Structure 1
Amino acid sequence: MLPPEGSMYTIFVDRAEAIIEVTLGGLMSVEEVDDYIADLKQDFVAHELRDYSMIIDVSACPIQPQDMIKRMGEHMALMPKAQALAIVTGSSLARMQIRRLFTQPYARIVASAAEGRAWVVLGTEPSG
C-alpha cells in the first residue's frame, strides 16, 4: 500500500495484535520526518500502545539523504522500544542504509509485508 497522494507516509495501527504498520514513500525531508514522528507518537498515545511491534515498509523509497537519516536516527533513539521490528525493502542499496539505521537485535530486514508480519507476530526468521 502506497501513501496517499501528497503524503510521504501512512500509519495503520492493528490494536488487536499491537502492531504499527507504516508505509514510507518518496524522498523525505527533515521536516517530513519530524511530522511523521509526531504523528507516530500521537498514535502511540491515542491507541495506548506499550508493548508493540512495528512493520515499516520502505520498498517505495529511494535512498534517502543523509540529513534525513540522521534525523530519523535521533528520533528513533527516543521512541519506546518495540518488541519486534520488521523493515520491508527489496533494494540491496536500501538494505545497506537500513542496516546502519536499524541496529536493534529485534529488527529484521524482510522482503515482504507478509514476511514482516511472520517475524513480528510469530518470531519466524526472514528467509533472506
Structure 2
Amino acid sequence: MRAEFTIVPDRHNNLIRVKLAGFFTRRDVASFANAYREELGQLNGYGHLTLADIREMAIQAQDIVIAFADFMASPTTRSRKLAFICGSTLARLQAQRLTTRADVQFFRSAFAAEAWLLE
C-alpha cells in the first residue's frame, strides 16, 4: 500500500489533524513534512496541537521511523501536545519510539485523543 496523508488545519483550536496511511519512503516523509509546514502557516503561530491518526499506517522501516522522529523534533514544527490514534499495539509501540516527550499520548479513540489535546 503506497503512502497517503491528509493534513487539515483547525484555526479555531490551533490544531492540525493528520491522517497517515500505507508505507512511506524517505521521499514521502519529505513530502509530508513540506505539506505539514505549509499547513502550519494557517494556524496562529507556535504552540499548536497535533492529532495524528495512524490507524491505517503500515509498520514502517527503521529509517522511516527515524525520518519521522527527526521531523517531529524540529523546533519549527514541534507541537505543544501530540496525540496519536493507534489501531494496533504494534503501531503504538512503533509510534512510541518516535519521541520520549511527556506531552505525547496514545489513544484508540479519536474522541478521547481530541479531548486530551483540548483540555
TM-score (norm 1): 0.84
Deviating above 4 A after TM superposition, structure 1's stretches of 4 or more consecutive aligned residues are: none
Q: 1:72 aligns with which of 68, 71, 83?
A: 68
Q: CA deviation at 1:74?
A: 1.6
Q: 1:7 to 1:71 in 2, by over 3 A?
A: closer
Residues 40-94 of structure 1 deviation map (CA, whole Å, 9 limit, x = unaligned): 0111124343221110000001211111111111222214332211000020111
- Same amino acid, percent of matched pairs: 26
Alignment TM-score, normalising by the size of structure 2: 0.90
The amino acid of 1:85's aligned partner reads L
Structure 2 gaps, min length 5: none
Q: Distance in 2 between matches of 1:73 and 1:105?
A: 15
RMSD (Å), alpha carbons? 1.5
Relative CO higher for 1 or 2, CA cutoff 8 Å, sep ≥ 6?
2
Report whether the alignment pairs 1:23 with 2:3.
Answer: no
Q: Structure 1: 5+ residue runs without aligned partners?
A: 1-5, 123-128
Residue aligned with 1:16, SS: helix
Higher strand content, 1 or 2: 2
Q: Is the 8 A contact 1:86 1:107 kept in 2?
A: yes
Match for residue 96 of structure 1? 93
